[in-house]
Structure 1
Amino acid sequence: MNPTILAQSGSIDGTIQKVFGPAVDLLETLVFYSVPLAGAQIPLVVLWLFAAGVFLTFYLRVRPIGDAVQTARVIRGQLTRRSDPGEVTSFQALATELSGTIGLGNIAGVAVAISIGGPGAALWIIIAGILGMAVKLAEATLSQMYRRIDANGKVSGGPMYYLKDGLASIGRPKLGSSLAFVYAFCFMFASLGAGNIFQSNQLAAHIVDSTGGDASIFAGRTWIIGLVLAVVTGLVIIGGIKTIAKWTSRMVPAMSSLYALCVIIILAVNIEAVPSAFALIVTGAFNPEGVSGGIVGVAIIGIQRALFSNVAGVGTAGLAHSVSKNRRPTEEGLVAAWEPFIDSVIVCTMTALAIIVTGQYLNTEANGVVLTSNAFSTVHALFPLLLSVCIILFAFSTILSYSYYGQKAAGYLFNGSRTAEMGYNVLYLVMVVVGAAVSLETVVRFSDAMFFLVAIPNLLGIYLLAGPLKREVEGYRQAARQGLIPIVDKHERAPLLGEPSEQRVR
């Protein structure tokens, strides 16, 4: 963090810490309560998330390769009719969720994991990403199963609804209502912090550092960055999920391609080091040196960073995919399952390889995004600038996605009130500016704790709804094997990227 920013925010931070600090300390201790194992401290919430991935992978018999052809058909819109209920396409829902997960965690988070756990942490990020596929399949499928569609075609869905209506359908209405309330209340605040304040704050800090640090034109004026970001964000989110989805469906491929191209060039320049980099990742995962807790320690580091990055278990996949055009819930689950793979297996691995082949994993003087930036700078002086472009796009896309997620949580709490949702959007935009201008460490810690607190009611609900979920998934697969899910005629399909134009409607 830039020292000028810290100096500006000292009094505000001090006041917040004095008023809310003890409560936040207690909340953080409870949510991230750790138990010792093999010399390492393991947060129980991480075990909770990891265990759900293992259980659902085997219970739902997740088979991404076997379902790949059918998933591709869903993403390409070959199975969706224009008349199907929903507001966005499956591809747009995929892009919206990826825009929320592919972010600074993929750039800075991986670097942090390698700094602490060595190259072997990357393999555990990959393993956690693969297990996360089952969790997101469950979240998206259940959200489609229990979503609500009003007379105007507006969709309300997500964990709040499958917790309340889903558990009511199996005879647990009181438990469902309680879990849904806890989820929505916590997630409303979590979106403000983890998806907003943290992103705008780190983006502003990176811009200041990249433009001269204390000598930067933005030093002491980071609120300008926040204001510009808030205005652009406001112009997008005022159009609702359809506009957000259109933006993210274009931003995600562009920013991911730019980042991938940069990493591919880095690997090409250091091609002779690539085999040894993979060897370091594998051997380091099971024979770590100097890591507290040994194998368990490096595994927890990698798993925790993967879960923080792809957020499988937090429920965002349900919020994104509940509004997509579809009549078959499992189809959205098949699409959502690939999100942790793209986020944690592909993008995180690219970052890890770039850091390892350039030798930056041995640099003990740098950490986080600086480590990744150093790896990029080894190829050409232009590359850190390209990384900055990626960081800006990653942070902005995350802010867009979480504006919608938080809005839907607020809408649920206030019975779908449009006024409440608009009020939340105004607060969200204000916090974009505040996040860029000051550090607000206590608020961010509070939001992070709330962010992972929602995984407790969310996954509990998924466990209880495992029976109906499995019947839905198995029923769809059986229908697909029997050829009962036809490809829709191209003239009847919903457009891939947006609403149908007058010329295409028949």
Structure 2
Amino acid sequence: MAIVYLFGCLLVIFGNLEQVPGAIGTIVSGAFNPEGVAGGVLGVLIVGFQRAAFSSEAGVGSAPIAHAAVKTKHPVSEGFVALLEPFVDTIVVCTMTALTIVIADTAFYADARSEVAGGGAPPDGVVVTSDAFETFLPWFPAVLAVAVALFAYSTLLTWSYYTMKAWTTLFGRSRRSENVFKVVFCSFTVVGTVISFGSVIDFADAMLFACLVVNLLACYLLLPVVRRELREFREGLRCGDIAKVPADERADT
């Protein structure tokens, strides 16, 4: 799904390669615009934190549930693997999306900027991206629709796994407990399809914030353990100490 989406973005970007420097300049100048900084720096920061957590889940504590299921002899090696996720999600995917939208600079995007500048609500990001794709090839929104559907389905699968693990930790791992969870999860999924998109995002932001508070507190309490594990892992790599770092992980790293 990521390949399909990035392929679409790359076609738009390489099809308008001469506009890339100007698009990057527009993004940078818009981010550090004196009027925007003076008028809404706090609001921009809050929205930025919300979208960053929604994009990469950094700091939320959900991704470690998946990483904890891997087979590894040292947790630090898996931690380095986990560091790639925010880079791919935030730096690669989001930057290419921004370049695609700014390069297209459609009338819809211009109207959206004017509406936001006037205090209105920001437009649906999927609609803006689809409109940008359509400026390159008329059938490109179909490619985006496939990518979005795959992203949505994989998100459902991933969060069902995360929340199932949390549920069984709190209420016990039994067939009855898991069936109750499945009914609750599917019910919320149905409800999410019939209420407004903004309400879904607001609810997701609230739940992510609740997870983030607990996770960052745990990270702070476990910081000495993380520091010790990282120091031992790096020392093992330097010294080639097989007792500290297994040979297969040392070779992979």
TM-score, with normalisation over the residues of structure 2? Answer: 0.83
In structure 2, distance between residues paired with 1:333 and 1:377: 39
Aligned counterpart, 2:119? none
- The answer to whether 1:433 aligns with 2:181 is no
CA apart distance, 1:313: 1.4
In structure 2, distance between residues paired with 1:437 and 1:284: 35
Give the AA of the match of 2:48.
Answer: G
| Maintained 8 Å contact 1:408/1:421 | no
Deviation sequence 1:408-431 (CA, Å, 0-9, x none): 111011133342123212332343
- The answer to whether 1:261 aligns with 2:7 is yes
Q: Secondary structure at the match of 1:390?
A: helix
Aligned counterpart, 2:70? 324
Give the AA of the match of 1:266.
Answer: V
- From 250, 263, 280, the counterpart of 2:26: 280
Deviation sequence 1:439-489 (CA, Å, 0-9, x none): 597687455423311211211111111111110011111111222345439
Q: Which structure carries more helix by proportion?
A: 2
- Structure 1 residues not aligned, in runs of 5+: 1-254, 494-506
Aligned counterpart, 2:118? none
The 1:307/1:432 distance shift into structure 2, 3 A limit, reads closer
In structure 1, distance between residues paired with 2:22 and 2:203: 41
The 1:292/1:369 distance shift into structure 2, 3 A limit, reads farther
Deviation sequence 1:38-73 (CA, Å, 0-9, x none): xxxxxxxxxxxxxxxxxxxxxxxxxxxxxxxxxxxx
| Maintained 8 Å contact 2:5/2:147 | yes
Q: Secondary structure at the match of 2:24?
A: helix
Give the AA of the match of 1:422.
Answer: N
Count the aligned residue pairs. 236
- From 39, 43, 50, the counterpart of 1:293: 39
- The answer to whether 1:350 aligns with 2:107 is no
| Maintained 8 Å contact 1:286/1:295 | no
CA apart distance, 1:385: 0.5
In structure 1, distance between residues paired with 2:37 and 2:233: 45
Q: Could you say what the CA RMSD is over the residues aligned between the two structures, in angstroms?
A: 2.6
Deviation sequence 1:342-388 (CA, Å, 0-9, x none): 11111011110001111144332754221111100001111000000
In structure 1, distance between residues paired with 2:191 and 2:42: 39
In structure 1, distance between residues paired with 2:15 and 2:199: 43
In structure 1, distance between residues paired with 2:16 and 2:222: 49
In structure 2, distance between residues paired with 1:410 and 1:442: 24
Aligned counterpart, 1:453? 210
Q: Secondary structure at the match of 1:454?
A: helix
Aligned counterpart, 2:238? 481
User: Within 5 A, what are the aligned runs for 1:39-438?
Assistant: 255-290=1-36, 293=39, 298-360=44-106, 361-364=109-112, 367-438=124-195
CA apart distance, 1:303: 3.6
Give the number of the structure with larger relative contact order, counting CA–CA contacts within 8 Å between residues 6 or more apart.
1
In structure 1, distance between residues paired with 2:157 and 2:194: 19
Q: Secondary structure at the match of 1:293?
A: helix
Give the AA of the match of 2:172.
Answer: N
User: Within 5 A, what are the aligned runs for 1:20-31?
Assistant: none
| Maintained 8 Å contact 1:319/1:405 | yes
The 1:383/1:292 distance shift into structure 2, 3 A limit, reads farther
- From 467, 480, 485, the counterpart of 2:224: 467
CA apart distance, 1:314: 1.1
Give the AA of the match of 1:387.
Answer: L
The 1:427/1:483 distance shift into structure 2, 3 A limit, reads same
| Maintained 8 Å contact 1:373/1:387 | yes
Deviation sequence 1:144-174 (CA, Å, 0-9, x none): xxxxxxxxxxxxxxxxxxxxxxxxxxxxxxx
In structure 2, distance between residues paired with 1:309 and 1:422: 29
| Maintained 8 Å contact 1:288/1:295 | no
The 1:453/1:263 distance shift into structure 2, 3 A limit, reads same
The 1:359/1:441 distance shift into structure 2, 3 A limit, reads closer
TM-score, with normalisation over the residues of structure 1? Answer: 0.43
| Maintained 8 Å contact 1:287/1:294 | no
Aligned counterpart, 1:215? none
Give the AA of the match of 1:404.
Answer: Y
Deviation sequence 1:223-267 (CA, Å, 0-9, x none): xxxxxxxxxxxxxxxxxxxxxxxxxxxxxxxx1111111111101
Aligned counterpart, 1:237? none
The 1:350/1:288 distance shift into structure 2, 3 A limit, reads farther
Give the AA of the match of 2:135.
Answer: T
| Maintained 8 Å contact 2:97/2:129 | yes
Deviation sequence 1:111-155 (CA, Å, 0-9, x none): xxxxxxxxxxxxxxxxxxxxxxxxxxxxxxxxxxxxxxxxxxxxx
The 1:388/1:442 distance shift into structure 2, 3 A limit, reads closer
- Structure 2 residues not aligned, in runs of 5+: 116-122
In structure 1, distance between residues paired with 2:156 and 2:44: 30
